[in-house]
Structure 1
């Protein structure tokens, strides 16, 4: 083989592998890693679920004392999300949430500020389509809801709350 033939083969191989790499990037890597799916193939193959998290579709992200807020959250099928408020010891929040259909596992709990052990205290646990009540926190820290969707379709939650807190949002 001559040097010219080798260069031509090398150029063809390089071009071919670049095209294959581009196709793999668009069809598989972007949907799985970045939830960018221009062709829809990633969703069809279930690759976009690796990046699905709950979404806040309305509502403010920061609030001060004695605030009233309402947010809509989406819990993807087979996934869980957590929505948190930063609160000081003995502060109180009144809340109400309901789904657009279907029960969700819920754990209303708190984690002490600065704790590195993974400790948390659950205030309420259940599997319900709605809940309302209030809680007064026993310690400074991050307090809120964990919802788990055990169904095969996304479920929206309308969450309204008022009290003394700073919104941490989705975690």
Structure 2
């Protein structure tokens, strides 16, 4: 058995040294918080370093997306808050079988002449399709939307592209007659997107964009489908 060497008092760190190390660590943590964490997470940049490194812009985008997501969630919850009254099903009345009449005597019918009737030509059931292209310019922080009027089950093919930077988008619908303020289809932040939108109900359906970049952008939307109207809502 060997006895471990016990450090002398001179080898142990002094109280002053420990205090200095603690202060240095606290100052370093504070510097990281002010120069990195606050700009990147909350868009707050007291020192100006976040603007140079681009972290402040990242934080502003995060906060803006969080605010928009919260507002959209509240709108969706308000739209779904109302409950529909149960539909009463009326009982189906049953009718007794009518008595079978006795056969009547057969009477010879005179010869008849058949007159040919004109058969109407079949109507064209092909849905009417229309195509449009719209272009909008957005300054930094500005938003706008374009909507088409669609009946339930009808579809519209779309493709949009943002020139100048990424755009935040929200594909949704609404209907005043049906008391629907907001119905979400998809949302995100992209520079382009395409697909097919199928209307969940009779009403207005379309796209909202917001420019969260520091530069102006131009969004071009191309549509083709069974909609009856298209509007640019400022």
Query: Counterparts of 1:100 and 1:169 in 2: how far apart (Å)?
Result: 18
Instruction: State whether structure 2 residue 232 is matched by structure 1 residue 160.
Output: no
Please tell me whether residue 126 in structure 1 is matched to residue 188 in structure 2: yes
Calculate the TM-score normalised by the size of structure 2.
Answer: 0.43
Q: Give unpaired runs (5+ residues) of structure 2.
A: 1-126
Hey, what's the Cα distance between the residues in 2 that align with 1:70 and 1:90?
Answer: 23
Question: What TM-score do you get using the length of structure 1 for normalisation?
Answer: 0.58
Aligned-partner Cα distance in 2 for 1:113–1:136: 18
Give the direction of change, closer, same or farther, for the CA distance of 1:150–1:124 in structure 2 (3 Å limit).
same
Name which one, 1 or 2, has greater alpha-carbon Rg. Answer: 2
Which residue is equivalent to 1:69? 132
Structure 2 residue matching 1:90: 3-state secondary structure: coil
Equivalent in the alignment of 1:107: 170
Unaligned runs of 5+ in 1: 1-63
Which of structure 1's runs of 4+ aligned residues deviate more than 4 A? none
Higher relative contact order (CA 8 A, sep 6+): 1
Q: Deviations over 1:81-135 (max 9, x none)?
A: 011111111110000000112111100000024255x621111111000000011
What residue number does 1:94 align with? 157
Structure 1 residues 73 and 65, CA gap change in structure 2 (3 angstroms): farther
Q: Distance in 2 between matches of 1:65 and 1:143?
A: 18
The whole-number CA distance in structure 1 between the counterparts of 2:218 and 2:129 is 26
Instruction: Give the corresponding residue for 1:149.
Output: 211
Match of 2:147 in 1: 84
| Aligned-partner Cα distance in 2 for 1:169–1:72 | 10
Aligned mates of 1:111, 1:70 — CA distance in 2: 22
Question: For 2:192 and 2:225, how far apart are their aligned partners in 1?
Answer: 20
Distance 1:91 1:160 in 2: 17
| Aligned residues of 2:164 and 2:215 also touching (Cα < 8 A) | no
* Structure 1 residue matching 2:224: 3-state secondary structure: strand
More strand by share: 1
8 Å CA contact 1:113–1:140 kept in 2: the answer is no
